[in-house]
Amino acid sequence: MRAVSIFVSIVIHSAAAWSRYNVGNKSPPMTCGGGVMNAQTIKNIKGENPAVPVSSIARYPLLDPFVKFLSDFHVYCAIVVLVIVMFQMLRKIKGDQLHVMLGRVLSFAIAPHYVAVGMLLNYYAINMPLEDWKLAPPASDWRLQVSYIIPFAINTFVAMAMGFWLCRYGFMPPWTATPLKWLSAFSILFWCTVGLYQTGSQAFGLGLGSFGLPVEKSVPGGQVDAQAFFDGGLNLIVFLVGTMQAGQDYVAYKCLALVEAAGGNADLSWKDMHKWAMIDLTYQAAVIFALFLAFFPYCLYGAPEWTCLESPFYAAPVISVFLIPVMMQAVWVKNFLTALFGGTDAIKAFSKPSHKFDTPKPKKAD
């Protein structure tokens, strides 16, 4: 309890002189989303602008009621995903029918439309006109939507496919491991080019990550000072998290290559494939939810003034709390990755088929 008290005191002290209506006491005044503050934006933040239906869980200002509905629906699904995966990871589940039942709810009632709606929202976010961004600049700028959320969408889709459907149901037989594998490869390539450029150039003060666009088109309001929030912390966090995500994509690639080569789960058991996919999904759900929880309600949507945090790094304790279920699997993850990267014999020795969904390796024709 003492550690919690110290942390809360530090946060309140650090945020005491911090105003969401002029983050960092800049001139001109800045929003904590990195845009120029004006009377219109203040109305949006307070919810006083009926033309901008901003909700407390919206990721960005939405002028289209249909898109707002999709956003709200998607976030509620994300909360359900987080609750279920954390609940599942914190329990002893061997032979537990509740685990199977909740898994089916997640894999069929939540996961399919969660992925589909998330990808559609990403499309809207990337293609939203800059004039709309200026209404109330979000804490995740356009460049972060492009560089991080595209690989995030691919990673979560592949994790769900591996963990819920691959080699278990007829609509996703073993051969579908091949397109899933190449999806993971594309995600890695995208991050190592677009992602590292867009986040790295901003995180390390090398540029705006905007592919040479003029400042007035790449920064809301054309004010370079608006980049302070992104350069100082948010892009660095996304740079690190995105690189970690690319590593997860590579693990998925290796797993899917084993399924592809064996024509099923003869070398990599279905149970271990499922477990890795769920650890991946839990990690992703924890990080993205904690980041939104740390910034969006406080900085943009009218929570008490002291909750508007000065540094994105204050999200770290929030992320750590939600990552507890993943941390509890650290020994298994270490042993699994050691075997996976130790060659086929090593992973076969570690991951012996023991599940009804495991399939024997097809015999070679004489």
Query: What is the helix (H) or strand (E) element at residue 337, kind and residue range?
Result: helix 330-340
Reported as a pLDDT band with limits 50, 70 and 90, residue 365 is low
Tally of CB atoms within 10 A around 174:
19
Res 48 pLDDT > 80? no
Scan for tokens 């789960």, then name that residue.
Answer: 265
Count of alpha carbons within 13 Å of 132, Cβ hemisphere only? 16
Its pTM stands at 0.76
pLDDT band at residue 355 under the 50/70/90 scheme: low
Going by C-beta distance under 8 Å and a sequence separation of 6 or more, which residues neighbour residue 211?
Answer: none
For 11, list phi and psi in degrees, rounded to 5: -60, -45
Dihedral (Cα; 84, 89, 93, 96), 10-degree rounding:
0
In the numeric block, the tokens 């890695």 are attached to 188
**Greater confidence, 342 or 304?**
342
Give the residue, 81 or 129, on which the prediction is more confident. 81
C-alpha distances (whole Å) from 252 to each of 47, 162, 185, 198, 341 are 42, 8, 9, 24, 12
Percent of the chain whose predicted confidence (pLDDT) is above 70: 61
For residues 59 and 55, what is the distance between their CA atoms, to the nearest angstrom? 9
Q: In this model, does residue 182 exceed pLDDT 80?
A: yes
Beta bridge partners of 19: 22
Backbone dihedral angles phi then psi of residue 36, each to the nearest 5 degrees: -80, 125
How far is Cα of residue 303 from the mean position of the Cα atoms in its chain? Answer: 24
Q: How confident is the model at residue 190 (pLDDT cuts 50, 70, 90)?
A: very high
pLDDT score recorded for residue 248: 96
Residue-wise pLDDT for 137-177, tens only, equals: 443 456 667 788 889 889 999 999 999 999 988 889 999 99
Residue 134 corresponds to which amino acid?
K
Supply the pLDDT for residue 110.
Answer: 81
- Tell me: pLDDT of 53 over 70: no
Res. 276: pLDDT tops 70? yes
Range with the lowest mean pLDDT among 190-194, 238-242, 350-354?
350-354
Q: How far is CA 354 from each of CA 89, 257, 258, rounded to the nearest angstrom?
A: 20, 20, 17
In this prediction, residue 95 has a pLDDT band, given cuts at 50, 70 and 90, of: low
237 neighbors 146 (Cβ within 8 angstroms): no
What's the mean per-residue pLDDT of the chain?
74
Mind listing the pLDDT tens digit for each residue in 314-352? Answer: 667 777 888 888 888 899 999 999 999 998 899 988 988
Decide which of 291 and 24 is more confident: 291
> How far apart (Å, rounded) are the C-alpha atoms in residues 348 and 320?
33
pLDDT given for residue 259 in this prediction? 94
- Confidence class of residue 227 from pLDDT cuts 50, 70 and 90? low
Gap between the Cα atoms of 236 and 233, Å rounded: 5
Could you tell me which residues come within 8 angstroms of residue 197 by beta carbon, excluding any fewer than 6 positions away? Answer: 147, 209
Residue with tokens 């002893």: 92
Residue 115 in contact with residue 153, Cβ under 8 Å? yes
> Who has greater pLDDT, 274 or 59?
274
Which tens digit of pLDDT belongs to each residue from 85-94?
Answer: 888 887 776 6
The contacts of residue 192 (CB under 8 Å, 6+ apart) are 246
Give the pLDDT band of residue 127 (cuts 50, 70, 90). low
How many angstroms separate the CA atoms of 346 and 305, rounded? 55
Is the pLDDT assigned to residue 81 strictly greater than 90?
no
Q: How far is CA 45 from CA 4, 16, 22, 137, 306, in A?
A: 30, 19, 13, 10, 16
In which element (H, E) is residue 186 found? helix 177-190
